[in-house]
Amino acid sequence: MTKIQKAVQNQDGVSNVKVLFNAGKVRADIDESKTSAEKLSKVITDLGYEVLKTKVKELA
């Protein structure tokens, strides 16, 4: 869990990372001008974890 959190958190444009390990989810606030959900998915898969889907919510 900490490994995933640190890897995602260290990406440019990422803040407020929460890893919900039991639910199999990672939540983070991202600046889409600096990174994307696809790039963060690659970071997680490079650690050896499978990413089944990504979901991006727009802030109001």
Write down the pTM of the prediction.
Answer: 0.85
pLDDT reading at 4 higher than 90: yes
CATH of the domain at 11: 3.30.70.100
Q: How confident is the model at residue 1 (pLDDT cuts 50, 70, 90)?
A: low
Does residue 58 form part of some domain? Answer: no
Does residue 54 form part of some domain? Answer: no
Amino acid at 49: Y
- For 22-58, the pLDDT digits (tens) are 999 999 999 999 999 999 999 999 999 999 999 988 8
pLDDT reading at 2 higher than 90: no
Residue range of the domain that includes 32: 2-47
Does residue 33 form part of some domain? Answer: yes
Does residue 53 form part of some domain? Answer: no
Does residue 52 form part of some domain? Answer: no
Q: How far is CA 27 from CA 8, 10, 58, in A?
A: 10, 14, 13
Quote the number of domains for the chain: 1
Q: How far is CA 44 from CA 3, 30, 38, 57, in A?
A: 9, 15, 10, 19
Does residue 19 form part of some domain? Answer: yes
Q: At what angle do helices 37-46 and 2-9 cross, to 10 degrees?
A: 140
